[in-house]
Every structure is written in C-alpha cells, then in structure tokens.
Amino acid sequence: MRATMINGTRDVSVEELPRPELEAPTDAIIKVVAACVCGSDLWPYRGVVPVKEPRQMGHEYVGIIEELGSEVTGLEVGQFVVGSFITSDNTCEICRAGYQSKCVHAGGVGTAQAQYARITNAAGTLVATPEYPAEDLIPSLLAASDVLGTGWFGAVEAHAGPGKTIAVVGDGAVGLLAILSAKQLGAERIIAFSRHPERQALAREFGATDIIEERGDEGVAKLKELTGGLGAHGVVEAVGTQESIEQALRSARGGGYLTILGVAHGVQISGRELFSRQVHVVAGGAPVRRFLPELIDLILERKINPGRVFTLDLPLEEAPAAYRAMDERTAIKVLLRP
Amino acid sequence: MRATMINGTRDVSVEELPRPELEAPTDAIIKVVAACVCGSDLWPYRGVVPVKEPRQMGHEYVGIIEELGSEVTGLEVGQFVVGSFITSDNTCEICRAGYQSKCVHAGGVGTAQAQYARITNAAGTLVATPEYPAEDLIPSLLAASDVLGTGWFGAVEAHAGPGKTIAVVGDGAVGLLAILSAKQLGAERIIAFSRHPERQALAREFGATDIIEERGDEGVAKLKELTGGLGAHGVVEAVGTQESIEQALRSARGGGYLTILGVAHGVQISGRELFSRQVHVVAGGAPVRRFLPELIDLILERKINPGRVFTLDLPLEEAPAAYRAMDERTAIKVLLRP
C-alpha cells in the first residue's frame, strides 16, 4: 500500500509499504477514505521534535472497516467509521468518566496517512455512521476525528454556554473549530485572536463576534476592554507556545476556565501566576471519543460544517505538497485522499 | 492598642500602636476577639519572603463590630462577626460567580493580630452570627476565617463528594481541614499524606481513611496502589513547594482535579506534564466569603469542630512564642487572644 513517511526535517515522502495486519484480537484494519495533515505534524516536519528514524505519519482518519479482530464487538466489516487519534477501550473507569484520552489501555494512532491503517482498541474507538455518508460530508467527518473533537473539548472545558464570553487564542483549524464549538454550545460572545484575513473570515463564519489582531499583553488589554475589565469566562488555547499560553491565562477572569490544547516542549507555567490568576486550567489531548456520537449527528444533520477548515484537498501521493502548504500557512488544513 | 509586628527574620514583637480609624465609608473597625498565626505567616518569619520594613501581621480574625462606615449596610455595632483574609464587595460579577477572592474591589487584611483591626469592604466581607457564640466555639469560628474556608475551597474544587477518593498533600491546619471538608462533602475515601503521629491522629479524627507516610514519587506509588492504579479523583495541595505540587499533580487520575492552596516563589509547573496528566488544576486564595454562612452554621450546630487544629492558645502578648511554636511545628496552629 501507499503510505506517508517522514524522513527528517521538511522531508516527507510517499512510499510502498506492506499492508498492516491484525496484531491483537481487539484491532481493526480500516481502508482509509480520507486523512489529513495536522498542525502537530508540523512539529517533527519543522524539526522542533527530532525525527530519529523514518516513520509513518497521520492520526486523523475516516475509513471503511476492512477486517476485525476476533474480540471486536459492535462493528461490522464494510461500515464507514470515524476514529480518534487516541484509542481507548471506552469501558474502564477513566473512559466512563469521559476521559478516553487517559484510558487505562490508551493507544496512539500514527499511520493514518496511508491506504490502510491498523486501529487498536477498535470497539471502543471507532464510531460507525448509519450508512456511507454523502461525499460532501466526508471532510467534516474527518474533522471530527481530531480538530473538531479537540476544539469541542476546548470549548466544553472552557465552560462555553449561554451568557458566556469565550476567547480563543490561535487561528489554526483547532482554534477555528473551538469557535464553531463555542457557538454551538451557546456562547453569547466569542472573541478570536487572529491577524490573518482568510482565517478571520472563517472565524466570523463559525461564530466569532469580535476579532483581536494584537498579541501578548496588548491583546490581553484589548480583550479586557471588550469585557468590562474582567476577562473572558473561558479561554481556549490552541497554539501551545510559552507566549500564547501566558496570553490565554491572562485573558481569563478570576474563577474562569482555560483549556490548553497543545503544549510545546519547554513551556513552564509560573506557579505564582497560576495562583494570582485563580483560573481553572486543564491541558491535554482531547477525549474525542466522548464527543464523537454527538458530533457525527450534528454533521449528518448538516447543523455544523467543520469541513470548511480544509482549504486544500490533495491525493495521498501529494503528501509532500500538503505538508508544505501547512508549513507555509497557505492552507488552513489539507485533506489527503488515498 | 497592642499589635503584633514582624521586624525581620524570626523577629516578632508586640507593640503599642494607635487604634485604627475608619478610612473609607465602606470600612468597619472590629475589636478582635481571637486571631491566630497562619502557615503563610511563617514565610516572612523564616525569611523566605523578605521583610523590608517592620509591619503588622495577621489575617485571620473573629471580633465584635466597634464602628461602621456610613455606607456599610447589613451589619450593626456590637455584632460578633467572622471575616476573611481577602475583603470583597460581594456584589460584583466575579463575587456573584463565587470568586470573592478575585473581587474587582478585593482588598487584603494584614493587621488582625491586634486588639483592633480595620476591615475594608465590611458589608461584603463580615458575616455576623445570630448572637455572641458560646466560648468553646470561638476557635472553630476563627478557623472558618481562613484555614477551614481554604480547606473547604480545596475540597470543593477537588470535586469531593459521594463515591470520590480525595487525597490531601500537607498535614498543616489547611490540609487537615481539607480532610474535614472532604468528609463533610461526602467523600468516600480520604487519603492523607502525613508522617507526624499527632497530625495523623487528627487527620483520622477528621475523616482520613488512609495515611501515606512516603513522599514524592514513592508516595505517589503508594497512592496508586490504594486506588487500583488510577490515582485519586481529586487532590488538595496544602504545602506549596515544587516537590509537593508535583506529588499532588501525579496523585490525581486523568481527568481528575487538583486544588493548589499555596505556592512558594519560584515554583514552575511543566506544561508537558500538565498536558500529559490531563488534570484540572486551580490555584489561588480561597473565596472564603462564599462558604462562610454555611461553615458558620455547621459550627454553631456543632456538626464540625475545626477548632481542633488550635493546639496552643496564648494571650496576644505571647505572639513571639506563638510564632516559635508554629515554626518549630510543636503546635499545629496557635490561637492568640488580645
């Protein structure tokens, strides 16, 4: 099969590899219908995280079940499924509390930019659609597998809801979909930090009511102006640098909420600042599985259109160009079709 | 009037000072009935926080209203009142959300180890009891003004409740009262980290079901053993050092909760660790005012006895001995009577 490999800094290729096989009775093999390049894929691509040896890439996917391990229940060969970048049994105490991202049997996905992929913990990870979805919904379903699920988690943990002001730091796909999520969850006011006209437009389409172009303490000052000096009730941080996390923390009001959706190596949060701000902070990979059934319904009912973040749609063979477009920010997010 | 001063490292004295006067129409002057020495008073006492010039001490107090500013409503001269170490208007949007500690008009209290004290934001800060309380309840009411209110906040934010396992790091008065609070809030299992026999005994009396003597990663390993490998649902951190905060963070399960009730200067929380643990963290001074009416009721109904943390009761004139006893840990907490 054809599969995307990263070989080193800014060196991605599409290679011929053996098709994956079932390894555990809880595995599934899926035929990938669509995958994509994630903002976090840029960390090894840009050399921020070193690439020690060539490896496959990809953790966002929708596909068709090709083969099921003997212990997988609730799924059938031929079904169209949406998964997540963390696999989970969805039965342990942590999963039942809604934190499938910290499942006691959690596994990772890292080979989805390919024609086929093996998914561990299949029964607890893959969610089937009632039937093969309309072609134009596939980008949105793909978004659910990571960027939408992650943005949704951000908005939920930021306590987005009626009467609330939510701020979003970061105008990548996750930040933009946190805006969509906050809107869907009923937030009254959504303040987006963005200085990129195309992304500002999509932010507004998704529900942003205000855009702040300033960054850092200037951006915080602007946000304070917009919120009667108090700050936002909840903030979603979707960049992950020291500066952006500090900006996000300072944008929340006392007693407010901050979700940090990505953290670069070396980021340190000052204990004194955390103490003086008195903001509830949670960081981590989103428990996408918790939200998938609801998100899939919203997409199939055409109530949300998160697939709008894919501004470029390429065949898998063009993965190197997809990475370049993401790296150079000429595309918000790039879909890959095997 | 007589008042406690800190003059430098391990140098506390009781001096003659002018009685405080009303400065704003929202102030009250109280005649202090009881005050005490706080764990946080040891930071300047030990030189951890430098003492630039001599200043008064004390932020925990119960007393009788002596004088009220012209704008103070809802209180009367002669009432017995319990206050808090942060003063708040209790009407702003932040207060109404329950975070009086971050009130837009928040003020501090720092002169309560004295015969009289001026309290700002009196109407929003002081809570009167229905009548002058029984003498033996005064230590408990005094505890409500800080250490109980703080421990209670820790337990509430750690989501203590039925079916929950709560861990408490720190066996000072705040940690011990976080145990009492978790018990009162219905926690099923309360794990206390303590290696001091007298404090272990009080922890058990307050509701601890398990005691762990090990610290750091050894302590975490022990806690994991007790919790089926998962960690506690919620953790209260009542020490504030780098090591204790890391221990607390590692003691919570994925998706769990951590309240940090004090933070020493220089503490840094690793963003990567925060991300990988996926624990909800909040730090800050407790919004004691939110809890005071409920805590006062529980005390007057003799349902809780937080005054047990006062293992030494001294006249104000002996403040230097009170600080020594706290510093040397020969007392858990020392009450001072002006």
- DSSP class of residue B263 equals -
Dihedral over Cα of A61, A66, A67, A72: its sign: positive
The per-residue pLDDT for B136 is: 98
B240 three-class SS: coil
A39 three-class SS: helix
- Please state the three-class secondary structure of A156-197 as a single string: HHCCCCCCCEEEEECCCHHHHHHHHHHHHCCCCEEEEECCCH
B283 vs A287: CB contact, 8 Å cut-off?
A: no
| Cross-strand pairs, B190 | B166
Two tokens at B143?
């505890």
The per-residue pLDDT for B172 is: 95
Cα gap B178→B232, rounded to integer Å: 15
In angstroms, the separation between the Cα of residue B253 and the nearest Cα of chain A is: 8
Interaxial angle between packed helices A197-206 and A173-184, expressed in degrees from 0 to 180 and rounded to the nearest 10: 20
Residue with tokens 């140098």: B11
Residue type, position B2, single letter: R
Two tokens at A325?
């477009």
The per-residue pLDDT for B264 is: 85
The 3-state DSSP composition of chain B as helix, strand, coil percent (nearest 5) reads 35, 30, 40
Residue type, position A185, single letter: L
A284 vs B269: CB contact, 8 Å cut-off?
A: no
Per-residue pLDDT of chain B (338 residues; tens, 9 = 90+): 999 999 999 999 999 999 999 999 999 999 999 999 998 899 999 998 899 999 999 999 999 999 999 999 999 999 999 999 999 999 999 999 999 999 999 999 999 999 999 999 999 999 999 999 999 999 999 999 999 999 999 999 999 999 999 999 999 999 999 999 999 999 999 999 999 999 999 999 999 999 999 999 999 999 999 999 999 999 999 999 999 999 999 999 999 999 999 898 899 999 999 999 999 999 999 999 999 999 999 999 999 999 999 999 999 999 999 999 999 999 999 999 99
Count of CB atoms within 10 A of residue A293's CB? 11
Q: Which residues of A touch B94 (CB under 8 A)?
A: 230, 253-255
Domain map (residue ranges) of chain B = 2-146+287-337, 150-283
Cα gap A214→B257, rounded to integer Å: 33
pLDDT tens for A302-331 read 999 999 999 999 999 999 999 999 999 999
Pairing, β A55-56 against β A2-8 = antiparallel
In angstroms, the separation between the Cα of residue B127 and the nearest Cα of chain A is: 22
Q: Which residues of B touch A94 (CB under 8 A)?
A: 230, 253-255
Same fold, A2-146+287-337 and A148-283: no
Spatial contact of B179 and B205, defined as CB atoms under 8 Å apart: no
Cα gap B91→B258, rounded to integer Å: 28
pLDDT tens for A255-289 read 999 999 989 889 999 999 999 999 999 999 999 99
B102 Cβ neighbours under 8 A, 6+ residues apart? A253, A254, A255, A278, B94, B284, B287
B254 vs A98: CB contact, 8 Å cut-off?
A: no
Cα gap B289→B43, rounded to integer Å: 24
Instruction: Enumerate residue ranges in chain A where pLDDT < 70.
Output: none
For domain A148-283, give the CATH number.
Answer: 3.40.50.720
Instruction: Specify the CATH superfamily of domain B150-283.
Output: NAD(P)-binding Rossmann-like Domain (3.40.50.720)
**Ramachandran angles phi, psi of B336, nearest 5°:** -120, 130
Cα nearest neighbour of B242 on chain A: A271
B284 vs A278: CB contact, 8 Å cut-off?
A: yes
Residue type, position B10, single letter: R
According to CATH, the topology of domain B2-146+287-337 is: Quinone Oxidoreductase; Chain A, domain 1 (3.90.180)
Pairing, β B61-68 against β B28-37 = antiparallel
Spatial contact of A303 and B304, defined as CB atoms under 8 Å apart: no
Spatial contact of B296 and B127, defined as CB atoms under 8 Å apart: yes
Q: Could you tell me the pTM of the whole model?
A: 0.96
Q: Which of A99, A253, A274 sits opposite B255 (nearest CB)?
A: A99
Mutation target vs A (from B157, B280, B288, B291; most A CBs, 10 A cutoff): B280
Cα gap A274→A268, rounded to integer Å: 11
The per-residue pLDDT for A265 is: 86
The per-residue pLDDT for A264 is: 85
Cα gap A121→A91, rounded to integer Å: 11
A141 three-class SS: helix
Residue type, position B78, single letter: G
The per-residue pLDDT for B156 is: 98
